[in-house]
A and B are shown apart, each in its own frame.
Chain A
Amino acid sequence: MREINLGVREGEIVLLAGRSGSGKSSLIRVINGLIPFFYEGSFAGQIILSGEDITDFSPRNRLRKGIATVSQFPEDQILARKVWRAVAFGLANLGFSREEIIKRVREALKFVDMWEYWDRETLSLSAGQKQKVVLAAALALQPKVLLLDEPTSQLDPLSAQKFLLSLSIIRDELDVTIIVAEHRFDELTMIADKVVLIENGEVIAEGPPKHIFASNIPKEIGIGYPKLAMLSRILFSDNEIVLSVSEFRKKLDEKKCKVFRTYSVPKVSDVLRNSSDAVVLEDVWFAYDKEWILKNVSFRIGEGAFVAIVGPNGAGKTTLLKLISGIHKPVKGRVLIYGKDSRKLKLNELIGLVGYMPQNPEEIFFNDTVFDEIAFALRMQRVPLEKIKERVLEIAKLLGISHLLKESPFNISGGEKLRVALASILVLDPKILLLDEPTRGIDWNTKYTFFSKIREVLSSKTIILATHDIELLAELPIDKIVLVSEGEIVKEGDKRILADSVIENHKLVRPKIAHLMDMLGVRGVVSIEEAAKIIRCVEWSYQR
Chain B
Amino acid sequence: MVLPKIISYVERDSVWHRANPCTKLLIVTTLVFSPWISERFLLSALIILAISLIMSKSMRDLTHIYTVILVFSVIFLPLNTLLYSSLIKEKTYLLKPWITLEGLLLAVIALMRIVIGLLAIGLFFVTTSPEELEDFLLRLKFPASFILALTVSTMFAPMLLEEITRIKMAQSLRGAFRGGFINRIKAYARVLGIPLIVSALRRAIRLAEAIELWGAPSPNRTVFTSISFKKEDMVLISMLAFLVSLCTLVPF
Segment 358-379 of A: residues with Cβ below 8 Å from B? 358-360, 362-366, 376-377
Minimum CB–CB distance from B55 to chain A (whole Å) comes to 25
Name which of B21-29, B32-40, B107-115, B216-224 contacts chain A: B216-224
Q: Is the CB of B195 within 8 A of A362?
A: yes
Q: Is the CB of A381 within 8 A of B214?
A: no
- B97: interface (CB < 8 Å): no
Q: Is the CB of B169 within 8 A of A322?
A: yes
16 contacts between A and B (CB under 8 A): A77-B210, A77-B214, A79-B155, A81-B154, A88-B222, A92-B221, A97-B222, A325-B169, A347-B172, A350-B172, A359-B166, A363-B199, A366-B191, A366-B195, A376-B174, A425-B173
- A420: interface (CB < 8 Å): no
| Closest B residue by C-beta to A378 | B175
CB-defined contacts of A507 to chain B, threshold 8 Å: none
Top 5 A-B pairs, shortest CB-CB distance? A366-B194, A93-B215, A380-B175, A93-B218, A76-B206
Q: Is the CB of B177 within 8 A of A37?
A: no
- B159: interface (CB < 8 Å): yes
Q: Which of A38, A64, A137, A350 has the most CB of B within 10 A?
A: A38
Mask for A266-307, Cβ within 8 A of B = 1, else 0? 000000000000000000000000000000000000000000
Q: Is the CB of A101 within 8 A of B174?
A: no
Name which of A67-75, A218-226, A474-482 contacts chain B: A67-75
Query: Size band of the A side of the interface?
Result: 35 or more
Q: Is the CB of B206 within 8 A of A356?
A: no
Contact of A351 among B175, B193, B221 (CB under 8 A): B175
Minimum CB–CB distance from B210 to chain A (whole Å) comes to 5
Contact A82/B131 with A93-B216, A101-B222, A362-B195 known, Cβ cut-off 8 Å = yes
Q: Is the CB of A63 within 8 A of B198?
A: no
Q: Which of B172, B173, B191 has the most CB of A within 10 A?
A: B173
Minimum CB–CB distance from A20 to chain B (whole Å) comes to 15
Instruction: Kindly state the separation between the CA atoms of A390 and B148 in the bound complex, as whole angstroms.
Output: 52
Segment 179-221 of B: residues with Cβ below 8 Å from A? 190-191, 193-195, 198-199, 202-203, 206-218, 220-221
| Closest A residue by C-beta to B196 | A363
Minimum CB–CB distance from B211 to chain A (whole Å) comes to 7
Minimum CB–CB distance from A338 to chain B (whole Å) comes to 15
- A410: interface (CB < 8 Å): yes
CB-defined contacts of A93 to chain B, threshold 8 Å: 214-218, 221
| Closest B residue by C-beta to A97 | B222
- A428: interface (CB < 8 Å): yes
Contact A365/B209 with A94-B215, A428-B174 known, Cβ cut-off 8 Å = no
Q: Is the CB of B222 within 8 A of A123?
A: no
Instruction: Kindly state the separation between the CA atoms of A91 and B224 in the bound complex, as whole angstroms.
Output: 12
Q: Is the CB of A38 within 8 A of B209?
A: yes
- A144: interface (CB < 8 Å): no
| Closest A residue by C-beta to B212 | A59
Q: Is the CB of B174 within 8 A of A89?
A: no
Q: Is the CB of B195 within 8 A of A365?
A: yes
- A2: interface (CB < 8 Å): no
Contact of B166 among A33, A34, A358 (CB under 8 A): A358
CB-defined contacts of B221 to chain A, threshold 8 Å: 92-93, 95
CB-defined contacts of B175 to chain A, threshold 8 Å: 351-352, 377, 380-381, 428
